[in-house]
Amino acid sequence: MENFIFVLLQGRVVAIYIAINIMIFLIITLIIIDQFTKYLAFKHLSTINTYPIIKDIFHFTYVENRGAAFGILQNKRFFFIIITTVVLAGIVYVMYKNSNLKFLTKVSLALIVAGAIGNLIDRVRLHYVIDFFDFRIWPVFNVADINVVIGGVLLCIMVLFFKEELF
């Protein structure tokens, strides 16, 4: 009987370990994609400013964003670094304390973490965030922003409509 319980516990530990590695892999992959696209934006757009993909609808536009969404709180770099660090610590704590989170909950939190780290890297390294997706009727944004928004929307949907599916 003891061997049976040990195997079940060992199987659970192995399953948790694999799930953590998948989330870490997802986060690192998304951060690499974000940083690579920002590098490409800097390299190819910083000298020409904008490149129309669909004229007056969608452009690649190089923007050095020193604020938050919609350009609010300009030049509050340390504020954003502190807030981002606190949010990341909170998410990591929740994920650590709740090893039984459902897959979609983990994915939504991983998306938020990847986006937050992607923009945090820019704020620490460059003192601004590189944005480049420009739909002309919306503020310019980047891959990290997309990750945060998709993760946040997914988490909100789950909290509002599938509370029992969170854990």
Catalytic positions: 131, 145
Identify which of 151, 157, 59, 114 has the alpha carbon closest to the alpha carbon of residue 165. Answer: 157
Q: Tell me the C-alpha to C-alpha distance, in Å, between residue 164 and each of 20, 98, 101.
A: 21, 14, 11
The residues, any chain, with a CB within 8 Å of residue 141's CB and separated by 6 or more, are 131, 133
Contact call for residues 124 and 82 (beta carbons, < 8 A): no
Distance in angstroms (rounded) separating the CA atoms of residues 147 and 154: 11
Work out whether strand 58-65 and strand 50-54 pair parallel, antiparallel, or are unpaired.
Answer: antiparallel
